[in-house]
Each structure stands twice: as structure tokens, then as C-alpha cells.
Amino acid sequence: MSEIDVRYALSPSEIVYLNAERFAKTSRLGYRALAAEGKVNTTDLGRTVVAAAILALEAAGAVMLELEETRRFLLKVRHVRVAPVADGPSFPAPSLEEALRGMALDLASSANTVFVKDILDAWIGEDTEQSFTDLLDVVPGFLADRGLAIRREEKRLKVFTVTDYELPASTRELAADRAPLDAVLALLADCERDRPDLAKQLKREVGQPFASGSGGDGGDFD
């Protein structure tokens, strides 16, 4: 399993986000990540950001993942089961990794079985329509809360507050560091190669809670 350094300033999901063009296909009508030159397929990037967070939690020993298969009438049903480790290591907070880990711990305290979709439903709100754009827009806020991005708020029409973010040169350098970037690329590629059934189901469950109109179906993690 790929080695992930939980002490690194950027979490794996943030490394994916800040290197969007390495992890998602370009798309003229897609999503522009913070400081990115071009736009990429929103669903590609959203799925990969979440998948990287979940697989990084497993690689760090914060959760255990298992592909669970049951039969419902004549249908074979698969889910990715998540078993959080109570005293597992922590990623920088706030971050997507820590948000998902915290939600998994909360759910596990009252349920025998927790699946990836359960965690995402609980985090974003099961009855709330969200898109991958909404998810991706959370990442710059996490970075700003940790001092890795600059947040600027502007009042428009005396009613609306618009928030913009700027990525300082120091954070750009962190995002471009080859070692952590290669570790995340290997994390996703290893899952596709060594556990293709889990990778396929993880991709499916990551996409289920989000509105279908967020950029079209995406490809593999890598």
C-alpha cells in the first residue's frame, strides 16, 4: 500500500485539487480549481478528490476498507464498508479527510456497519441536493482556515457577499512537490490495479450522493 505522510501540510485530497489537470480530463465547461490555468471535468475531479481522501485515510491507518457483497433477491449488491480506527492518525484539520473521518467515527458509534455512501450522505445531508461543484468549493475554505490560502470577501449590491481565494506562492510550491504528488498518484493507481472491484464500487458510491448535473460521468481515478 502506498505511503501517505499525514504530517505533510497539504492533505491528499488537496494535492489532487491543486493539481486538477493531472487527475481529471480537460473540459471547456468544467470546473476551474484554485490557481489552475484551465478547466477540468467536474465529476472527474470531484470523484477523485473524495476517493483520494478515503484511500488516504486507509493508507494512513485511520480507517479500514472492505468490499462487502450481499444478495438481495436475485441481485448481487456491493458496498464499500468503512471501519474507522478510534485512535488512528489525523490529517491536517480542517480538511476533507478529517471531515470524513469524523463522520465515520460518529456513525460507527451508533451503527454496526458504515458504508462510504452513508458517510457522504451524513456529511452533506441526505435530503440536500449537492453537486460536485459544491464539494470542490469547500476545499479552498479549508486551505484558508489553515493559512494556506488567502480569503477575500467582497460585498456586492450591498446585499451579497462574494468570497474569493488566492493561493500564495508557498502553497503552490507545496502542491508541486513531487514526492507527495507521486504518492497520491500511486495511491489511486495501486487501488485500480490491485483492487479493481473495490475501486469501481468506491467510484460508484462516491458519485451517488451528488446531483447528476455536475459534469458528466468520469473515468478511472488515474
Displacement of CA 133 from its chain's centroid (Å): 12
pLDDT 10s digits, 92-136: 999 999 999 999 999 999 988 999 999 999 988 765 667 899 999
Torsion angle defined by CA atoms of residues 16, 18, 21 and 24, in that order, rounded to the nearest 10 degrees: 40
Displacement of CA 212 from its chain's centroid (Å): 17
Amino acid at 209: P
From the list 222, 181, 216, the residue with the least C-alpha distance to 199 is: 222
Contact 46, 120 (CB under 8 A): no
Quote the CA–CA distance of 154 and 19 in Å, as a whole number.
27
Q: Stretch 58-64: mean pLDDT, rounded?
A: 97
Cell of 24: 481529471
Asked whether the bond before 94 is cis by omega within 30 degrees of 0, the reply is: yes
Would you state the pLDDT for residue 216?
Answer: 43
pLDDT 10s digits, 191-213: 999 999 999 999 999 988 885 44
Would you state the pLDDT for residue 221?
Answer: 58
